[in-house]
Amino acid sequence: MPRTHPPSPQPALNAELVKAQEEAADLLGRLRYLQADFLNLQRNSAREREKTRDFAITSFAGDLLETVDVLSLALKSVPQSALEQPSDDSVPEPSPDAPSSPSRTKTSDDYLRELYTGVEMTQRQLLSTLFKYQIKPFNPTGDPFDPNRHEALYQAPVPGKTPGTVIDCQKTGFTIRDRVLRAAQVGVAQEMPQAPVQETAEQSS
């Protein structure tokens, strides 16, 4: 009688292995999907936190910009000639026989220069604080007019200037990160008026 061999377990093991590989691939796909979804959630949460923070900063910075404008106007109102120190030649030298006098009394120009320096330092410190929060000023003079960044106050023909070019900045603009916090108020060049054409044709009688 021929000897029979028991069935080989290899086909069953192969089937189990294939099933296990399919389950592992499915789980790996789900894991990658969850990982990508989690990363998107993190990015969205960070973006929302940044928007919330920028909104709070924007509201507060908008009020501070008015103070910057006032300080800028105060500095511009002082003519440069009033800030120049008097030359030594304009101060007469005391006579050797004259009694020693105390230090020179400050004049109104001296107080004006000190006040100007104090206002300038205050403005510089305020701008430095704004810079820490990514709030930066910009002066677009000479740039093409951009309605997204500039507010046109007037237009004027200027010889040698390309129409649509910013020729004057009345109020400095500010950006926060990559967004416009306040548009710059500017004057814009317009086309030069054309000279009237003189008619040279003689009227026929």
CATH code for the domain in which residue 172 is found: 2.30.22.10
Name all contacts of 77-82 with Cβ < 8 Å and 24+ positions apart. 78/112, 78/116, 82/109, 82/112, 82/113
Residues facing residue 176 across a β-bridge: 135, 179
Please give the helix or strand (H or E) that residue 73 lies within, else none.
Answer: helix 10-76
Would you say the C-alpha torsion 133, 138, 144, 149 has a positive or negative sign? positive
59 lies in some domain = no
From first to last of the 205 residues of the chain, give the pLDDT tens digit. 556 655 666 777 777 778 888 888 888 888 888 888 888 888 888 778 877 777 778 888 888 898 999 999 999 888 888 888 766 555 555 555 555 555 668 888 888 999 999 999 999 999 999 999 889 999 999 999 999 999 999 999 999 899 999 999 999 999 998 889 999 999 999 998 876 655 544 455 4
153 lies in some domain = yes
- Residue 95 sits at the vertex; the CA angle it makes with 94 and 97, to the nearest 5 degrees, is 130
- The reported pLDDT for the residue numbered 205 is 47
Q: Which range marks the domain in which residue 182 is found? A: 134-192
Inter-residue contact 177 to 50 (CB < 8 Å):
no
106 lies in some domain = no
176 lies in some domain = yes
Q: How far is CA 76 from CA 56, 72, 79, 98, in A?
A: 31, 6, 7, 42
Percent helix, percent strand, percent coil in the chain, to nearest 5: 50, 15, 35
183 lies in some domain = yes
What is the C-alpha to C-alpha distance for residues 71 and 129, in angstroms, rounded to an integer?
15
What is the C-alpha to C-alpha distance for residues 78 and 113, in angstroms, rounded to an integer?
9
Number of domains present in the structure of the chain: 1
Inter-residue contact 155 to 189 (CB < 8 Å):
yes
